[in-house]
Amino acid sequence: MRKGAMAVALFWAAGSAMAAMDIEVLARTCNNCHGVGGISAGTSMPSIGGLPRDYLKNVMKQWKYDERGAATMNRIVKGFSDDEIDALATHFSKKRWVPVPQKTTAALMKKGKSVTFENCEDCHGAKGDDPDEDAPMINGQWAKYMTLELEKYRDDGFKMPHRKMKKNTRKLKQADIPAAAHFFGAQGQ
Amino acid sequence: MNAFDRRTFIKALAAASGASILSIPNAHAAKTRARVVVVGGGYGGATAAKYLRLLDASIDVTLIERETRYTSCPLSNEVISGEREIKTLQVGYKGLLKHGVKVVHDEVTEVDPAKKIVTTAGGKHFAYDALVLSPGVDFNYAAVEGYSEQLAQTKLPHAWKAGPQTLLLKKQLQAMPDGGKFIIAVPKGPFRCPPGPYERAAQVALYCKYHGKKKAKVLILDANDSFSKKPLFEQAWKELYGYGPDGMIEWTSAANDGAVTRVDAESMTCFTGFGDHKGDVINLIPPHHAGKVAKNLGLATFKDKWCEVKPESMESTKQKDIYVIGDACVGGELATNNAFPKSAHMAMTQAKVVVANLIAKFNGLPPPVPVYTNTCYSVVAPDWGFSVVHLYRVENGQWVYIKAGSGISPVTFGTKEAPLPVPRIYRKLEAEYADGWLRNVLADAFA
């Protein structure tokens, strides 16, 4: 960002009412891909409304400073100031988390449950709805998106900073990934 | 947006202006309701209509659109190759009705900017306080000798507006013999969907490769010397379909006599300055310009084709209280060749700028600081996609292209001296994201 814009951004971040409004304006551009209120309508893209503030902030900053790989978002966030990223994280964290309904069957859920393990539960909660502050809730997150995320963690060509997740996702069998993602995704039912 | 968000928004507006929070809704309600007419129900117009109502339900919003069903241009190249059903691109206007938008299926015949009245072919009149024009493009068939609207609908489809012509082109591709030639003629830029012709070439090649037409040729005859995401397309073409004189896909730039000036439908021949090219299928994309509603109003002041607008609001530089968004407008950092791309995503963020601006205006508050973003995916195979993103801010009344927040997917990793291939997972992710993007933009604009 240019120096002028940075100065202006810092001024807003000083707590003026303008800050709140301009973050609304900026956040509305996120809706294109993440939905109104951060509730995604596209299976490969995550819902972000209601996710923990620290998680949102960390992920965006890691993308911005090339500490975490991404296919698209890393380019987008590089145009935002750190203050804007903080404000966007706060903005979306204040939304309600709305699990998206996903079709499932008892058999699918049983299979999904059988391939997840306690390490998932430790950080995300048994049903994915009780996360730590730096972990996202995953109950009713899109299964397709989570399948792709798990593939990122398992791919050596992808820079993922979370060592625990890297280790744990590699304990899963490749064929079991969609079932694991589905188990948490369909918790919104 | 829920009631709480709306309240926060109005409160923030009020606080920003130093006005009393309580006085705002009352002052507004005391007047007659603000009336906004939106012309054109594509991504831009639908977003403008929906968000106006979402953020301030006191505004009277009328959307005028000819068709009762919209077909998304983005990802319509996948329909041509059979990778996607056209109905996944189609949406009606019920979602907007739910938000309290009055949807009128009619054609605008006249706008009186002095009296601020829009008249339709159906003989209806709509008075407005603000008019948002999102008319898309109209085609200049006369620019290519021998071409016509009638030919576009029958023998030589452009399919540059998704719908019947998309399906016609698909049928022509299916009927093409192995060893046949599929010509895509690209007009001089700027045109709608900058990477579209090149994505189309890949989708056509994809179809040929897996449907017994391995000897087919896809020839791009281009009136330009470069194109959007060029290194990414060339890399993918080469690896997936073969690129160049010996490959399935060939690109002929303007410098190499690629610009098509004349077509003969009888002999199925495209003529360039010095050459002629016979095709089994000719997909001729004619030059286009701002939709006629805007053009007839004299708003297309840029090269007599596109409508110039103010960076802070998207208001026409020519007519007060008329806002032009989407493919019909021109904006961005023109001096550095970083104009707004004509994309759905861009149209939607432009619509959101207009909405924020109008709501502030109707409530007597200072205009918010706008931001414009673009994300545009291209899919060249089911597991191979890539994108370009753009970010524009407004400083001192001018658009500023923010390079740090813009750019294409990586072509290579490693260093310039020792480049490494980008792992395939990146391409796969972006092919998947393209579909997620489509579903989200359709929902954000129409649901």
Q: Which tens digits make up the pLDDT trace of B240-285?
A: 999 999 999 999 999 999 999 999 999 999 999 999 999 999 999 9
> Cis before residue B190, ω within 30 degrees of 0?
yes
* Contacts A93 to B, Cβ<8 Å: none
Which residues of chain B are within 8 Å of residue A43 when distances are taken between CB atoms? 435-436, 439
Q: Using an 8 Å Cβ cutoff, are A150 and A107 in contact?
A: no
Q: Cα angle vertex B1, ends A184, B6, to 5°?
A: 145
Distance from A37 to chain B by nearest Cα, in Å? 6
- Min Cα distance A184 → chain B (Å) is 19
Give residue limits of the domains in chain B.
32-138+289-365, 141-284
Measured CA angle at B153 (ends B149, B159), to 5 deg: 95
Q: For residue A92, give both structure tokens.
A: 């979306």
Contacts of B372 in chain A (CB under 8 A): 29
Chain A hits for B425, CB-CB cut-off 8 Å, are: 151-152, 155, 157-158
pLDDT band of A6, cuts 50, 70, 90 = very low
Distance from CA of A127 to the nearest CA of B (A): 24
Q: What is the mean pLDDT of residues A162-168?
A: 93
Query: At residue B60, what is the residue type?
Result: D
SS3 (DSSP) at B285: coil
Whole-number pLDDT of residue B8: 54
Nearest to B176 by CA among B204, B151, B201, B154: B204
**SS3 assignment, position B261:** coil
The closest CB to that of A158, out of B372, B400, B425, belongs to: B425
Identify each DSSP E strand in B66-107 by its residue range: 70-71, 90-91, 102-104
Q: How does pLDDT run across B203-236, given as a tens digit for each residue?
A: 999 999 999 999 999 999 999 999 999 999 999 9
Contact check, Cβ <8 Å, B2/A75: no
Contact by Cβ (8 Å): A172, A92: no
Residues of A with CB under 8 A from a CB of B: 1-2, 4-5, 8, 16-18, 20-22, 24-26, 28-29, 31-37, 40-45, 71-72, 75-80, 144-145, 148, 151-152, 155, 157-158
List the one residue out of B334, B401, B397 whose CA is nearest residue B374.
B401
Kindly list the structural domains of chain A, giving each domain's residue range(s) and its CATH number in brackets, ordered by start: 3-93 (1.10.760.10), 106-188 (1.10.760.10)
d(CA B367, CA B17): 10
Which pLDDT score is estimated for A5? 45
Which residue of A2, A6, A25, A147 is the best one to mutate when testing the B interface, meaning the one whose CB has the most B CBs within 10 A? A25
Q: What is the pLDDT along chain B (447 residues), one digit of tens a residue?
A: 444 455 455 555 555 444 433 334 444 444 579 999 999 999 999 999 999 999 999 999 999 999 999 999 999 999 999 999 999 999 999 999 999 999 999 999 999 999 999 999 999 999 999 999 999 999 999 999 999 999 999 999 999 999 999 999 999 999 999 999 999 999 999 999 999 999 999 999 999 999 999 999 999 999 999 999 999 999 999 999 999 999 999 999 999 999 999 999 999 999 999 999 999 999 999 999 999 999 999 999 999 999 999 999 999 999 999 999 999 999 999 999 999 999 999 999 999 999 999 999 999 998 899 999 999 999 999 999 999 999 999 999 999 999 999 999 999 999 999 999 999 999 999 999 999 999 999 999 999
Cα maximum dimension of chain A: 58
* Alpha-carbon span B111 to B83, nearest angstrom: 41
Partners of B352 on chain A (C-beta within 8 Å) are 25, 28-29
- Judge: B395–A40 Cβ closer than 8 Å, yes or no: no
Closest chain A residue by Cα to residue B404 = A79
pLDDT given for residue B31 in this prediction: 57
Residue B186 backbone phi and psi in degrees, to 5: -105, 130
- Whether A48 and A34 have beta carbons less than 8 Å apart is answered as yes
- The CA distance from B60 to B99, in Å, is 11
Q: How far apart are CA A152 and CA A168, in angstroms?
A: 13
Which chain B residues are closer than 8 Å to A157 by Cβ? 423, 425-426
User: Which of A29, A40, A157 comes nearest B352 by C-beta?
Assistant: A29
**Yes or no: domain B141-284 corresponds to CATH 3.50.50.60:** yes
> Which ranges in B331-446 belong to alpha helices (H)?
344-362, 424-446
Count Cβ atoms within 10 A of the Cβ of residue B46 and give its class: 0-12 exposed, 13-18 middle, 19 or more buried. Answer: buried
Question: Given this structure, which CATH class describes domain B32-138+289-365?
Answer: alpha beta
Mutation for A interface: B439, B441, B446, most A CBs within 10 A: B439
Q: Select from B379, B426, B428 the residue whose CB has the most chain A CBs within 10 Å, as the one to mutate to test that interface.
A: B426
For residue A24, the chain B residues in CB contact (below 8 A) are 5, 8-9, 12, 356
The answer to whether the Cβ–Cβ distance between B51 and A28 falls below 8 Å is yes
Q: What angle, rounded to 10 degrees, do the helices at B3-17 and B23-30 form?
A: 100
pLDDT band at A188 (very low <50, low <70, confident <90, very high): confident
pLDDT in tens, B77-98: 999 999 999 999 999 999 999 9
Question: Same CATH topology for B32-138+289-365 and B141-284?
Answer: yes
- The minimal CB distance from B423 to the residues A8, A43, A155 is found for A155
CB contact under 8 A, B387 and A26: no
Task: Express each pLDDT in A71-115 by its tens digit.
Answer: 999 999 999 999 999 999 999 999 999 999 999 999 999 999 999
The closest alpha carbon to A71, from B386, B39, B289, belongs to B386
